[in-house]
Structure 1
Amino acid sequence: MEGSWVVEHEAAAQAISLVGTFLSISEKSFRDVSQFIDYVSSLIRSKGADASITRSLDELEASVELLKYALNALPQTYPNKDMMLESLAQFYFRLYRKKAIRNDLEECAIFARRVLDSTSGDSLAWADRLSFLGTVLSEAAIQKWDATLEGAIIANQDWLALQTEKESDRHATGLDIEYHEYETSKFELSQLELSILSHRGATMCRSVIDQEREGKLSKHLRWLELLYRERYQRKPMVSFGLETAICTMRKSLRLNYESVYDYVYGLELQAELLMNHYLQTRTASFLEEAIDTLKKMCRIPPREYYSDPVGRKILVSCFCLLAQQQSPQGCGANMEDYYDESISIARDAFEFEPLPPAWWEQSAFLTYRASLFEERYWASHDLRDLDRAINLGKKALDLTPKAHSSRLVRLEWLEDFLDQKVAMSEASDDLENMIQVSRMVLDEAPQDDQETLSLRYLSLGEKLEQEYNKKGTINSLREAIQLSMNAIRLTTSNGTKALHFQSLGTWYAIIQQKTQDKADLKSSIFFFQRNLEASSSEIDSIPSISSSKHDWTLKNGVQVGHLKQIMPLIEGYCIGHMWRDAYATLHDGISVISKMSLRSLSVSHRRSAISATAGIASFAAGLAFIVGKGPLVALALVEKSRNMFASSLEDLRVEVSGELQQLHPGLAAKFMSLRYQVSRPGLTLRQFEPNGGRAMVAWQLDQVIEEISCKPGFENFLMSPNEEDTREVSSSGPVVVITTCPMRCDAIIIQPHQVRGLTLSHLSHEDILDKVKSGNINNLKVLEWLWDVLTSPILDALGFTQTPGNGEAWPRIWWIPIGPLSKFPIHAAGYHRYRTKNTVMDRVASSYTTSIKSMIQTRRRAIPAQSRPERAVLVSVPQTTGLSTLKFVKEEATRVGSLCRSMGFDVIEPQPRMESVASHMAGCRIFHFAGHGSVNSSDPSLSQLLLEDWKAQEFTVAMIQEMNLRSGSPFLAYLSACGTGRIRQSSQLDENTHLISAFRIAGFRHVIGTLWEVNDECCVRVAERTYEEMLKEGISDDAVCLGLHKATREARDQWEQRAEANRNRFRKQGRTHCWSVDRDRDIEECDVNDDLQVPEWVPYVHFGV
C-alpha cells in the first residue's frame, strides 16, 4: 500500500542489522526464524524504510533482499505474506524511482501482480492494490515498453470503474472485451489475466466515493490521459478499446471535480479520443461532439488553470478536420470560416497571463503554446507561425535544467518544429539549427535504451544527408555513414538494421556518383544486398497459402517493402555493369509482384504497392535484352510487373472456362461465388479497408485463385498470356510495346508469325525524362523528335512506308508505351508543318491498349448483334461551378445525339448529376460525355468527370472502376473532356490509372479520350466526324478507330491550311508569327511560339481492340 512513512533512519537500519545478525547465527527452529522475520519485516513496513529517508541506496537494497529472503523462507500459507509482497513491490518501485533501472520495475510488476492475485476481489484492499499495479504498468508504458501499454490502460480503467460505476453500468461499458495478445514480457498481462482483472472489478462496486478515493481520481485520469495518447501515437490506426475509453471518460466527467484543472484535463482527453474515433470512422457526430466538449473547456476562465492550451490545440485540429470534411477538394465555402475560427481560438490561448510560477510549468506551458502555433501553421501555411513555434520551443528549452528528464522532451519538440521549417524553407540557418538540436537530442538521450538510440543516430544521419543536398559537402555523408555504422551495433532488431542498411547503401551510392570510386560502389551494393536479404527472409517465413487474413496482409506488406528495396540495388549493379546479377535480382522481384494481391489491400496500401513497382517493367525488359533472354521473356516480365490493380479487377469479370468447371467444380463454384461478392454493384472502395467485410472476401478469393493455380493445367490461371495467345492478339494489326530504361530503349513488335525486338538506338531515356520534367511533351518539335527516334524506325521495320492509296484499307497498329513514354502522343508523331507524309497518321491508324492480357480478354468478348432499341447516354455539362463556361458543348450534344438516333439508338440525356448518370450507364451501348475533366495530381484514382454536383458527389476513376457493366456489353465511351488519359504522378504511370482505363475496366470495349487539354470548338468537329464514320461503317471495332483517325487527320489538314495561310500573310507583312490556341476546356493558359505550339488535333486518342 502506497503511504507516507515517517520513521527515523536509525530504527530501520537497526531492524535490518538485527535481522542480518539473527540469520547469520547457527541454526534456529523455523518457528523462531519465521516469527522473528515477521516481526522485523513488520517493523520495516510500518516504519517505512523509504528511500527518501535512508541515508544510502545500499540500505534500501538490503531491505529488498531481506524481504525476498523472508518470502522464500516462509510457507505459502503464512498469514501476513501478502503484506510482505506488497511491501516488496513498493520497495522495488522506490528503487526504480531512485536508479531508473528497468529490472527494478519489472520485479515491482511481478510482486504487485502476485499480491493482487492473492487479494480477495470483494476486499477493500483490492482496489488499492489494483491502483498501484496500474501506476507501475503506466510508468512502464510511458517509457515506451509496448507490451505493458494495454495492461496499464485496463488496470487504470478498472480502478476508475470501481469508483464511478455500479456493476450493471460496468458491463454496459464493454470493458470485459477480448483483449489483443502482445509480445511476451515480464510486464505483460495475458488475455486471461486481463479478463479476470476486469470481472473482479465488476464485482467491486461502490455507491459512494469516499474522500480518499476521490483524491486519487485525478491521478488515474492523468495516467489514462497519458496512456491513451501514447497508444494512439504508437498505433494510430488501431481502433481496439477506443469506444471503451470514450465511455469511461464520459462517465468520469460526470463526477464532481474539486480541481478545475483536473476537469479541463478530462475534457481534453475526451475530445482527443473522439477526434481519433472520427479519424478512423469518418463519422461526423464524433467530431461535432469533440468540438462541443472543447467549447465547454473554452468557457472556463483560463486563469483558473493557467490557460493550458492543450485543449485549444485539439480544438484547432477539430476545426481543421471539419473544414476538410466540408470540402475534400479544399475549396469549400465554409473552409476559410473554420480555419479563421480555429486561428482565433489559438490566438486567445496565447494572450492569457501570467505564466505559471514554477519553471517546469512554464516550460510545459510554452511547449504547448509552441505546438498550437505549429497546428495553426497547418491551417494558415504561414511560416511565421513556425517561427513562433521555434522561438517558444527555445524558451521552453532554456527554462529546463540540463539534468532534468523533461529536457529531452523539449528538445524533441524543437527538433520537430525545425524539421518542418527546413522542409518549407531554403534558409541555411534553419538546417544548421536543426542539425545542432538533433546532436543535442542524441547527447541527452538515455544510453540504456539502445534501440531508440540507434534510431536517433539514423535520424541525425538523414539530416546530414539534407546538409549534403544543400551544400554538396561529402563530409556530411561520411559522418552520416559513421554514425549509422556505430548505431547498427546498438540494435538487435532486424527491422532497425534494415533501415540502416538502406541508408548506408543510399549514402555510398550518392558519394560514388560524385567520386566515381569503385570502393564506394562496392560498399553501396553490399549494404543494399544486406537490406534485400533481410526482407527476402521475411517473405520466405510466410506460408505460400496463408492460413489467416493476418498472414495474408503481412505477406503483402512485406512484399511491398521488399520491392521498394530492389531498385536501388539494381541501379548499383547496372552502374557496375553487373548485368546478370541485376537481371537475377529483378527477375526474383517480379516473381514477388506476380504473387501479390491488391484486391485485399486497403487503398493506401494498394497505392504504396503500385509506387513500389514504378519503373520495374522497363528495367526488366532492358536487362532481359542485355543478358540475351530475348523479346518473349522481356514481354512476359513487362506483363507481370505493371497494370496490376486494373488486371486484378478485370480478372474478377472474366468468363470461367468449362474445363475448370468440369475438372474442379467445387473450386470453380467457390471462385464464382466469391468473385460475385467482391464485384457486386453498390459497394464502394471504402469496404476494401482492412476492417471491411469486403476486404475479407477479397482475401478469401485470392486464396482460391492461388489454390486453382496449383492444379495441373491451370498454372497460368489469370496469369500472363503464353506465346500463342500473344501472337494471336496481333491478328488485326501489329502490337508494339515500347520500353525505355537508362541502359537501352527497345520496341517489342508482336505479329501473327513472330515476336521480335527492335533496338531504338537513337531514343534516350534521359531525353524522355528531361522532356517530361520540363512539360515539353506535346508541341510540334516533340512530334518531330518522336518521329525521328521512335515511330519512323518502327514503321519502317513493319513496312508501313507509304500512305494507303484511295480504296485501300488503313492498316491498324496498337501502341503500348511503358513508363514516362506513355505521356507522349505517339499516334501524332511526325513532320506536320510542311505537308510531308512522314507522319504516323499518314501511314497507319493508331490505337492504344494497356496490356496484352487486357486486349486478349476484350477480344474474347464477342460484340452482340444489335437489338432495338439500344441506348446511347449523352451527358453534357456546359456550366460547371467554379470553372469556365463551355459554349460549344450544347452544339456537340445536339450533333452527336442526332447521329446516334440515325444509327438506331434511343438517346437518353439524364440530369448531369452523379446518381442519375451512374444509374443510366447500366445497359447503355454508347456513353458520351461533353464537359470539364479534372486530373488529380496526387492520386489519379480521384481524377473525375465534373458533373453539376461534383463538389458533393464525385464521379471519379475509383468509382467508375467499381462498376461492372459487362453484362450489358457497352461498346463505346466517348469522353470529350480535358485530360481523361492523363496521369500526373510518375509513380502511377505503369498502372494507367486514368478515366479512359476506368471505363475500359468497367466494361466498355472502346474508349475515346484525350491526353491533355482540348479546344472546345475542335471537340465538336472531331466528335461529329467520328460518329459519322460509325454511321457509315456500322458498330464494329474498326469503325471506332478509323472514325477517330479520319476525324483527327481532317482536323490536322484544316490546321495545316490555316497555318500556311497565316505564314503567307505574315510573310507579306514582314513579321514572324506566333500561335495562341483557344482552350475553352482547359483550366490552364499557355503562350506558344511556332516550334512550341500544341496543335488542337493532337490529344485525341483511342483505347480499344
Structure 2
Amino acid sequence: MDTHALQELIACINRVHETDDVGLTFAEEMTRPLSDAWQSWDDADTEASQVLGVFLFYRYLAAHDRTDMLMAIRTLTPCLLYADIALPPDMLPFLADYGVCEAERLREDARGSPDPARAERAAFAWQRIVMATEDGHPQREERERSLRRARRLLAARRGDTAYLDQAVAAARAGLVPQGRRDRLATCHELLLALEERYEATGNADDHEAALRCAEELAVYAHTSARDAIGCSLLFSFGEKLFQRYLRDPNTTDLRRAIGFLRDSVEFPGPHLPTRLLVLSRALSIWSAAARDPGIVTEAIARAEQAEELVPRNHQDYPLIKWQIASLYFGRYRTTHSGDDLDRAAAAILEATLCLTRELQITALQSDIAFAQYERTEDSEHLFTVLALRKRVLRKLPEDDDLSRADALYSLSQAQMHWYRRTGSLGDLDNAVDNGRAALDLVAATDARRRPDFLCGLGKVHMTRFALRGERDALPEAIDRFREAVTDAPDRYLPLALLAAALGYRYDLTRDITDLDESIAAGERALGLAPAPQRAGILLDLSGARRLRFGGTGDATDLDHARAAIAEALALPALSARYRMRISLEQTELASLSTVNTAERLSAFEAAVELLSEVGLSSPHHEDREFMLSVHAGLGAKAADAAVAANRPDRALELLEKARGILADTAPTPGWRGNRATTARHLCRNATRGPIVTVSAIETGGLALLVTPSGVHPVALPGLRLHKARARHKALEEALASGACEDVLDVLTWLWHTAARPVLEVLKATGWQGTRLWWCPVGVMSLFPLHAAGDGHDGVMDRAVSSYLPTVRALPAERRRPTSPGRALVVAMSRTSGQASLPGAASEANSLSRLLSATVLHNEQATREAVLTALPSTRIIHFACHAQADTREPTRSRLFLHDQPLTPRDLPFGLDADLAYLSACATSDVMFLGADEAMHITGAFHLAGFRHVIGTHWRIDDLAAADIADHFYTVIAAHGPDHAAQALHTATAELRRAHPDRPDLWASHLHVGP
C-alpha cells in the first residue's frame, strides 16, 4: 500500500480515537490518501488492511453509507481469517458471515494438498470464524462442526489419524450382516466414518469402501419414497461416483453419477443447493464430451436453481456463482452470444466479492474480461486483465508448472494487446518472454495447451513484425504456426494464423509459393472453422486471392475473392468491425482495373458510413481515439476515389464525414458539427476566402479547393504518403538537432509539392484575396503549410493563413458582438520537473499592460483556478510548458502548478474570443490519429474560443515573448478578430530579421475565422 497514504490514514484514526469524532474521516485532506490507499491495497498485507478497514468503518459510522461498510468488510475479512489482530467488535458478525466462503475454500484447498501449512491455515480461519460468531447465531452449530473437521484434517496432515482410525474400526466392528434390520443403520455409520477419514487423508481405499457402502444404501433408497433421507443416500452414491470419475475418468461412472444426482434433487431441504451444484458440475463435464447444448442448458438451470436457494453468506454461494460463470463463458465460446458473456461477467464478479484469494476464480475472471475486451475493444477490460493475470502469477506456487504456464500464456497475450493500444515496448518484450516461458513449461504431448501456446507466441512475433518492423520476427511466427498445425491439424486457428503470416511474407518477398500456401491453409481453416469464426478467414482469403490475381491475372482468383466477400456478408450478426473490414476489402477489389470508378466509390462510401459505428462503439474517449486511429486515412482515400469518378463535391463530403467524428460528439454553440453536411453548404463557408484540404495517400496527394463557386480538385503527384512521412521525420530530426538548413529544405519541399500548386490554381480561378484557410488531413496536419516557401516565394508572401480542424468548423456567419469580458494570463516561469521559462513573466507583464489582464503566476496557476476562470474569460494566454501525447491526443497537457490541463478538461459551450497557447507543441498530433486533430489547440477552438494561437513545436522562450508582444499590440488596438493578421505580421517580422531561423517563425499558427 502507498506508504504516505497509509500514514495519513493512521494519523486520522488516532485523531478519531482522541476526539471520538468519526466525522474527521470525511475531512477534505483525507480524500486523496483514501483513494491512493484503496487503489494500492493488497489483501496480503493484513496490517495495512486493518488500517484501511477501520478507517472505512469509521466513515460508515459517520455517514451510514452502505458502500463504506461493504469496503470495510472487504478489507477487514483477510485480517479475521489470516491474522490474529484486533478488529472492531461491532464488525465481527459481518466479517464472520462474509468470511465463511473463503474459510471453506481454505479447507477444500487443504484437503487436496499434503502440506500441513494449508490445513493449519484452514483450521485457524475456522477458529476465527467461530470466535466471531455470536451465540444463538443460526449457523453457529454448523460453523463449529466445520472447525472440528478442519482440526481433524490438520491432525491427519501432521500424521495423527488415531481418532479417525478408531472411528472406522468401531464402525466396521459394528456392521451387521445383510438381512438384519439394523444393517442399513450400521452401514450408514461406516459410510460416515470412511467419508471423514477420506476427507482428512485422501486415501483411495477409503473412498472405494465408502462408495460400496453408499451403493448399498442407494439401492435401498431407490425402492423407497423420495424423502429427505432417501435423497441424501442417493446423493452420497452419486457424488462418490462423480469423485471416482474425476480421479479415474470412466464414462460409465459419469453417466451413473448424473442419474443418481438427478434423483437426489427431487426433495427439498437444507442440502439441496449443494446437491444441485454437484449435479451441475457433472453435467458440465458430460456436456463437453457429448457436445450436446441441451446438457449445458440443464447444467446452467441446476446451478441457477441452487443460487436461488442460498443467501450470499452461504459457504457455497461463491462456488455456485463460479459454476454459473464457467457455464455461461463456456457456452459463449461456442455461440459467441453477448448475453452469455455478460451473464458470465456478472456471475464471476459476485464470486470474487466473496473469495478474494481464490486463484481459480481470479483466473476465470481474467479470461472473461479478456473475452469482453476482444468483443468490445474497451481498454478498461484489458487493464483489468493485466492486473488480474499478474496477481495470479504472483501468487501461484513455483512448483505448479501447468497453472504457471496458463498464467504466463494469458499474461503474454494481454501484454501483446496492451502494446497494440499504448505502444509500450516493454510490454511487447515481456509478451515474448512470457510466451516462451509458458511454452517451456508444457510437455510436447500436451495436446490442449501446446497448440494454443504456439499460436499465442506466434501472434506476439507477428505483432513485432507488423507494428515494430522487426523482420526477424516473421520467420519465428511462421515456424510457431507450423508447429501448431503439426500438433493440431484438425483445428482451424493455427491454419488461419499460418495463412495470414504467409500472406505477410508474400508482401515482402513476392514469392508466389508463399501466397499459394497461404491460400491453401486458409481454405483448410475455413473448412474447420465454426460459423462465428469464418468472417476473418474469408476476409484473409479474399485478400490473398486478390493479390494472386494481381500477380497472375487469373480471373478465377478474382471470382473466388468476390465470392468470399459475399459469403462473409451473408454471415449472421456481423459486428461493425467486421463489416468495416469487409467494406475496406471491397474497396481494394473495386480498385482493380477491371472495375469501374463508380463501384470503387460506392465501396468507399459504405466504409465511411461505418466509421461512426466503429469509432464510437466504446463509452471511453481513449478507446474511441484508438478505433478511429486504426482507420485514419480512409477519408483521404475516399476523396481520391470520388475525384477519380469525377465527383469533387462528393469527395469533400466524404472527407468531412470521415473526420472530426470525436468533435461532433460534443458540439459547441455556433459549431456546425453535422458530418452529413453537403458540399453546397460547405462552400458557403468560403465566402471570406478559400478553404484548402490537403491529403496524401500512397498514389499521390490531393487538394480540394473549397470556394463559393464550388469544389476544385488539385492533384499533387509528388505528395505520396511514404514521402510525406519521411519528410516529417526529417523535420523532427532537424528541429531536435537545431539543423535550420534542413528545416528550410522541408519547407521548400512543402512549397513545391503542395502549397505552390494550390496557390497557382487559386490564382488561375481569379482569386486575388489575401486570406486562406488550410484544412490539412492525416500526416499533412503535422506540417506548417503556412510557412512553406523556397526563400524567394512562399505562402507567407502571398496570404494570411489560418487553420481549421474540418471545413465545417468555420461558421458561415460572423458572430454578433457580445459584452466585453476579462483577459487572463496563466504564466508558469517555474514548473516542477521542467526547465524554467523566464519569458513567461515578460509575456505576463506585456499582457497586463496592454489588456489589463489578470495574471495567475506560478503557485496561483492551479487547474481549479484556471477552469473556474474560463467561463467568464474572453481572452486567455498560456505561457507554460506543454506536452503532446502522440497516442492519445486528448491526454496532451498544459503544465500548471498542481495538475496538468488536458483537452478533456475543457468545458464545451464557452463563448470566448481568443486563446493563445504560448507553449511547446500544442498542435502536435500523431499521424495515426491525425484525422481527428484532437490536439490542445483544436480543443480550445472546439470548446468555444473563436480564435486560437498554437505552435507546431517548441520555440525559443524570448522569441515567443517577442511574438506575443507584437501580436497583442495589434489586438489591443483592433480587437481579437484581427488575430490571424496580427500573428502573420508578428511572425513575418521575425522572418525578416532571421530568415535562416525557421525554427523561430514557422511554428506559430492561427485556428479560427
Q: Shorter-chain TM-score category?
A: 0.5 to 0.7
TM-score normalised by the chain length of structure 1: 0.59
Q: State the distance in 2 between where 1:203 and 1:372 align.
A: 31
Within the candidate set 830, 834, 837, 1:886 is matched to: 837
Is residue 976 of structure 2 the alignment partner of residue 1035 of structure 1? Answer: yes
SS at match of 1:738: strand
Aligned to 2:542: 505
- Cα offset, 1:111, TM superposition: 5.0
Matched with 2:601 is 583
Structure 1 alignment gaps of length 5 or more: 1-45, 47-52, 54-66, 148-183, 207-215, 251-265, 295-308, 317-348, 351-355, 448-452, 540-557, 656-715, 805-809, 1060-1076, 1078-1093
Query: Counterpart in 2 of 1:132?
Result: 278
| Cα root mean square deviation, aligned | 5.5
- 1:915 has 2:915 as partner: no
Give identity over the alignment, percent. 22
Q: For each residue in 1:87-127, what CA deviation from the matched residue of structure 2 results, as whole angstroms up to 9, or x when unmatched? A: 899989999999999x998x7898577435523234x5x35
Equivalent residue for 1:313?
393
Query: Which residue of 782, 785, 789 maps to 1:826?
Result: 785
TM-aligned CA distance change 1:419 to 1:818, over 3 Å: closer
Alignment match, 1:956? 902
Q: Could you tell me how far apart the structure 2 residues matched to 1:376 and 1:596 are? A: 23
Q: CA deviation at 1:427?
A: 9.2
- The yes-or-no answer on 1:767 pairing with 2:723 is yes
Residue equivalent to 2:166: none
Amino acid at match of 2:817: P
Structure 1 residue 245 displacement after superposition: 1.1
Measured at CA, do residues 411 and 775 of structure 1 come closer, stay the same or move farther in structure 2, by a change above 3 Å? farther
* Structure-2 residue corresponding to 1:639: 656
CA offset digits 1:872-907 (Å, max 9, x no partner): 121122333333222322222222332222xxx555
Deviations 1:118-138 (A, max 9, x none): 23234x5x3563243143255
Q: CA deviation at 1:813?
A: 1.1
Offset, 1:269: 5.0
Query: Closer, same or farther in 2 for the Cα pair 1:600/1:114, shift >3 Å?
Result: same
Describe the SS at the equivalent of 1:981: coil
Write out aligned runs for 1:554-953 (5 A): 558-576=575-593, 578=595, 579-593=597-611, 598=616, 601-628=619-646, 630-650=647-667, 653=669, 718-722=674-678, 724-743=680-699, 745-760=701-716, 763-772=719-728, 775=731, 779-799=743-763, 811-832=770-791, 836=792, 838-856=793-811, 859-860=812-813, 862-867=815-820, 870-901=821-852, 905-906=853-854, 909=857, 911-949=860-898, 953=899
**1:974 corresponds to 2:878:** no
How far the C-alpha of 1:1006 sits from its partner, in A, is 0.8
Cα gap change, 1:1032 to 1:915, in 2 (>3 Å): same
Tell me the matched-pair count: 761
CA distance in 2, matches of 1:1034, 1:580: 49
Number of the residue aligned with 1:548: none
Does the CA-based 8 Å contact 1:874-1:893 persist in structure 2? yes
Describe the shift of the 1:791–1:887 C-alpha distance in structure 2 as closer, same or farther (beyond 3 A).
same
Task: Determine the C-alpha separation between the residues in 2 that align with 1:597 and 1:199.
Answer: 40
1:871 Cα deviation from its structure 2 partner? 1.5
Letter in 2 for 1:930: A
Residue pair 1:929, 1:977 contacting (<8 A) in 2 also: yes
Equivalences for 1:188-587 in 2 at 5 Å? 188-189=297-298, 196-202=305-311, 239-249=345-355, 268-269=359-360, 313-314=393-394, 381=426, 396-397=441-442, 400=443, 402=445, 406-410=446-450, 412-413=452-453, 416-417=456-457, 420=460, 435-445=478-488, 447=490, 453-465=491-503, 473-493=511-531, 495-509=532-546, 515=551, 517-519=553-555, 522=558, 525-526=561-562, 529-530=565-566, 533-534=569-570, 538=573, 558-576=575-593, 578=595, 579-587=597-605
- Given that 1:142 and 1:230 are in contact with CA atoms closer than 8 Å, whether structure 2 keeps it comes out as no
Q: CA deviation at 1:644?
A: 0.9
Structure-1 separation of matches of 2:620 and 2:415: 31
1:119 is aligned to: 267
Distance 1:906 1:144 in 2: 77
Instruction: Please give the alpha-carbon distance, in whole angstroms, between the structure 1 residues aligned to 2:307 and 2:917.
Output: 61
Distance 1:590 1:110, change over 3 A: farther
Question: Residue type of the partner of 1:496?
Answer: Q
**Structure 1 residues 193 and 602 mapped into 2: Cα distance closer, same or farther (>3 Å)?**
farther
1:1055 — aligned with what?
994
Over 3 Å counting, the alpha-carbon distance change for 1:884 and 1:205 in structure 2 is closer
Cα gap change, 1:534 to 1:220, in 2 (>3 Å): closer
Tell me how far apart the structure 2 counterparts of residues 751 and 538 of structure 1 sit (CA, whole Å). Answer: 44
Verify the 8 A CA contact 1:85 1:111 in the aligned structure 2.
Answer: no
Q: Name the TM-score, length of structure 2 as normaliser.
A: 0.64
Q: Does 1:1026 align with 2:982?
A: no
Q: Letter of the 1:845 partner, please give it.
A: V
SS at match of 2:666: helix
In the TM superposition, what whole-angstrom CA distance separates every residue of 1:585-631 from its partner, at most 9, and x where no partner exists? 11223333467783873335423441354222122222112122x32
Partner of 1:676: none
Equivalent in the alignment of 1:549? none
Q: Which stretch has the larger CA shift, 431-440 or 363-372?
A: 363-372
Given that 1:940 and 1:983 are in contact with CA atoms closer than 8 Å, whether structure 2 keeps it comes out as yes
- Aligned residue in 2 for 1:553: none
Is the 2:325–2:344 contact (alpha carbons within 8 Å) kept by the matching residues of 1? no
Q: 1:113 and 1:224 mapped to 2: Cα distance? A: 18
CA contact (8 A) 1:813 1:847 kept: yes
Decide whether aligned partners of structure 1 residues 474 and 112 sit closer, same or farther in structure 2, where only a CA change above 3 A counts. Answer: farther
What is the alpha-carbon distance in structure 2 between the residues aligned to residue 573 and residue 773 of structure 1?
33
Structure 1 470/813 Cα, relative in aligned 2: closer, same or farther at 3 Å? closer
Conserved 8 A contact 1:313-1:375: no
More helix as a share of residues: 2
What's the counterpart of residue 1083 of structure 1?
Answer: none
Q: Could you give the per-residue CA deviations for residues 166-216 of structure 1, whole angstroms, max 9, x where no partner exists?
A: xxxxxxxxxxxxxxxxxx74312598765542233459989xxxxxxxxx9
Q: Who is 1:543 aligned against?
A: none
* Cα separation, 1, equivalents of 2:318 and 2:819: 77
How far apart are the structure 2 equivalents of 1:855 and 1:375? 43
Question: Match for residue 1003 of structure 2?
Answer: 1099
CA apart distance, 1:413: 3.8
Deviations 1:237-257 (A, max 9, x none): 97513452134326xxxxxxx
* Equivalent AA in structure 2 for residue 1095 of structure 1: D
Distance 1:641 1:363, change over 3 A: closer
> Do 2:908 and 2:943's aligned partners in 1 also have CA atoms closer than 8 Å?
yes
Paired with 2:878 and 2:822, the residues of 1 have a C-alpha distance of 14
Deviation at 1:222, TM superposition (A): 11
Answer whether contact 2:917 2:949 (CA < 8 A) is retained: yes
Distance 1:411 1:597 in 2: 34
